[in-house]
Structure 1
Amino acid sequence: MPFELVSSVENLGSKETSQDRASLPFTLAELKAAIPAECFQPSTWRSLAYFFLDIGIISLLYVVASAIDSWWFFPIFWVMQGTMFWALFVVGHDCGHRSFSKYKWLNNLVGHLAHTPILVPFHGWRISHRTHHNNTGNIDTDESWYPVTEATYRQMAWYEKLLRFQLILFLYPLYLFKRSPGKQGSHFLPSSNLFRPSEKWDVITSTICCGLMIAFLGGLTYLYGWMFLLKYYLVPYVIFVIWLDLVTFLHHTEPDIPWYRGEEWYFLRGALSTIDRDYGWINPIHHDIGTHVAHHIFLNMPHYHLRTATEAIKPILGNYYRKSQVSILRALWQSYKSCYFVSDTGGVVYYQSPKELKD
């Protein structure tokens, strides 16, 4: 086995049922009790320090790139800046989970400051991400990177298969506008069934912020030309999208990770369908987002406590804990080749590849 088995349990407010106790050799309460209490307490100043550190590095990179202004340096700048855009997204991710601070207004403010520059509608994304966490591992109701069925795969047009299975590292902007296959709506429109009527103005606010960012970029392009936009924003943005799609794809896509439908799914069981991955020296740069199991267990835990929490719960999770032991590129290649669709029937199913199709 290339990875250890993992467990995931999520919401602090989730209630355990007799079904949970019957199916798993541990409970949510036992997991929570094993974690030091301070891990559940966000530090506003520490969170802000990470935010300002990311902003500072992004600003410094712009200053250095502008000063050098040479084509030999721009590929280096693009990779570094795109990676920092991704790190900034993760800070906004904490804001969306309300794990950045105890103050709702501060979470919303920093969330917009982190996400708007990289054209992510903070509230629209925050709400759809909430849907993902509440339905992890459920084929029918999960929000992102869930598998299509064999019947759906057979009916997909060639261009749909190209986007879904070959261009997996470039899908995020399309997802924001169109969502995943089989789902309707947009992260930018309050009319989407993603959102409750009470969330209308949250969605509109974030959409307006993204619109203002696009207008700002348009103004820069008008003043300095398309090449300026390409060098200083568009290429780093593409690198950011690649990072986001890579990491989120690998969070939940693995041949041995089960998916559920119908009565086979319930929160605690579905939350098991995730996996920790090691990004090496990138781990501290993108705020340990690869430590994903503990995050799905307690989503309102600050990112800087996830490693401590993981070590605390691993003895309890035992064989239900998954952590990849292979390199990121190898894991991507394995999932890219093997994870296309799941069976049309069955309560517990696994990814299959086109090679397994029976004509």
Structure 2
Amino acid sequence: MTSNLITRPLARESLPFTLHDVRLAIPAHCFQSSLWRSLAYFFLDIGVIAFLYWLTALIDQAWFFPLFWLMQGTLFWALFVVGHDCGHGSFSRYRWLNNLIGHLSHAPILVPYHGWRISHRTHHANTGNIDTDESWYPVTESQYNQMPWYEKLARFHLILVAYPLYLFRRSPGKQGSHFMPESPLFRPHEKWDVITSTICCALMLAVLAGVGLHYGLGFLLNYYVMPYVVFVVWLDLVTFLHHTDVEVPWYRGEDWYFLKGALSTVDRTYGFIDPIHHNIGTHVAHHIFITIPHYHLLEATAAIKPVLGEYYLESKEPIWKALWQGYRNCHFVSDRGSKIHYQGPQRSSRSS
């Protein structure tokens, strides 16, 4: 058990509060997006990214590049979070603007905006459901035992660089690609949305290829590939820690319903990074109400804590320690039962 996880096990029966109860606790303005505030965060991220490129080109010293990779990769991650708001419609009230800023935020970091948006919608509609969740859901013990070594390697040991593979292949047991409109992820009427985002990513790849041909592979590695790797690590780290802990329950069949599943996530703090990546660690409130803009999540979280009480999951563990515990102890869940928890090779069953 994580020593600082503030939680008690969720009950098998219905929760003692409703979605309406939780919504009433949150100030009404938290559900309202501010167009100018949202745009300010987008342009701030773009501005800092541009400044870091200018500064690095000005310094142009080998010793500075590792620091640049860390800073720029973190800003790529912050830019992803802005596109994340666009995908949920919490960036603005205008769908066309959400789609425009979403593509401007995601295409430069090779994320197919609509493909990701649609699969992420499926994740939020099925969070905590062992059968229908879309991303970072556990495999069963029997599935784990039948996995070939290379699949176990990718799933359990390369967790911090798995995101590009997920975009192309999805998670174990699921078919399809985020880039292909015929993928089972998508409905027929979403075809052109998916194609549009795939074309945007292809254009970005063409730009990168041109940069590499003109300036050389070393230039491309230093100014794009390494920051991109840092971005992928951030994305996988935060997403993994949102959903992976031995105290987070998973449900099957009729034992699952939306609010119960939405609470199957953990709020975490990343220290001074929190305002840089737009407080994305406040994930419980986001799971319950996806239309709350990121800049209202702290206030919304404080408002719902008294209502959720012991059902609110929050970790005070240092991030490195939480990652290590998840890496060691969270490999699979029981094949049977509901309200089941992660187990590792050395953990006994906790199914109920």
Whole-angstrom CA distance in 2 between matches of 1:228 and 1:96? 32
Q: Alpha-carbon deviation of 1:356?
A: 4.0
* Structure 1: distance between partners of 2:16 and 2:256: 17
SS at match of 1:326: coil
Aligned to 2:43: 52
> Contact (CA 8 Å) 2:128, 2:264: kept in 1 or not?
yes
Report the CA distance between 1:355 and its aligned residue. Answer: 2.0
Q: What does residue 5 of structure 1 align with? A: 7
1:17 matched residue in structure 2:
none
Tell me the alpha carbon deviations over residues 205-256 of structure 1, each in whole angstroms, 9 at most, x when there is no partner.
0000000000000000110110010000000000000000000000010001
Question: 1:29 and 1:353 mapped to 2: Cα distance?
Answer: 37
Q: Distance in 1 between matches of 2:36 and 2:107?
A: 22
**Residues 1:117 and 2:119 are matched in the alignment:** no
2:127 corresponds to 1:136: yes
d(CA) in 1 for partners of 2:18, 2:107: 38
> 1:82, 1:282 → 2: CA distance?
12
Counterpart-to-counterpart distance in 2, 1:115 and 1:304: 19
Aligned to 1:167: 158
Is the counterpart of residue 97 in structure 1 residue 99 in structure 2?
no
Q: Is the 8 A contact 1:54 1:87 kept in 2?
A: yes
> What are the Cα deviations for residues 33-77 of structure 1, in whole angstroms up to 9, with x where unaligned?
111111000000000000000000000000011111110000100
Contact kept in structure 2, 1:6 and 1:318, CA below 8 Å: no
Query: Alignment partner of 2:62: what SS?
Result: coil
* Aligned residue number for residue 207 of structure 1: 198
**Equivalences for 1:64-83 in 2 at 5 Å?**
64-83=55-74
In the other structure, the counterpart of 1:153 is 144
* Farther off after superposition, 267-276 or 52-61: 267-276
Matched, 1:220 2:211: yes
- Check 1:6–1:241 CA distance in 2 against 1; reply closer, same or farther (3 A cut): farther
Q: Distance in 2 between matches of 1:134 and 1:354?
A: 30
Distance of aligned partners of 1:7 and 1:206 in 2 relative to their CA distance in 1, 3 Å threshold: farther
Residue number in structure 2 paired with 1:350 = 341
State the 1:84 CA deviation: 0.2
Q: Is the 8 A contact 1:251 1:275 kept in 2?
A: yes
In 2, Cα distance between the equivalents of 1:329 and 1:357?
24
Q: Which runs of 5+ in 2 are unaligned?
A: none
Q: Aligned residue for 1:11?
A: none
Partner of 1:33: 24
Report if the CA contact (8 A) 2:107-2:204 is conserved: yes
Specify which of 309, 325, 347 is matched with residue 300 of structure 2. 309
- Give the deviation of 1:264 after TM superposition: 1.2
Using the size of structure 2 for normalisation, the TM-score is 0.96
Query: Whole-Å Cα distance in 2 between the matches of residues 94 and 107 of structure 1?
Result: 8
Equivalent in 276, 288, 291 of residue 300 of structure 1: 291
Closer/same/farther in 2, CA of residues 7 and 274 from structure 1, 3 Å limit: farther
**Post-superposition shift, 1:5?**
2.6
Q: Report the Cα offset of residue 7 of structure 1.
A: 11
Aligned to 2:310: 319
Conserved? CA contact 1:95–1:107, under 8 Å: yes
Aligned counterparts of 2:280 and 2:250: Cα–Cα separation in 1: 22
Q: Which runs of 4+ in 1 moved over 4 A?
A: none
Alignment partners' CA distance in 1, 2:177 and 2:348: 33
Look up the equivalent residue of 2:20 and give its one-letter code.
Answer: A
2-structure distance, mates of 1:344, 1:108? 40
Tell me which of the two structures has the higher relative contact order, counting C-alpha pairs closer than 8 angstroms and 6 or more residues apart.
1
- Show the counterpart of 1:12: none
Alpha-carbon distance in 1 for matches of 2:220, 2:301: 41
Please report the TM-score for the alignment, with normalisation by the length of structure 1.
0.94
**Matches of 1:125 and 1:274, distance apart in 2:** 20
Q: Percent identity?
A: 69
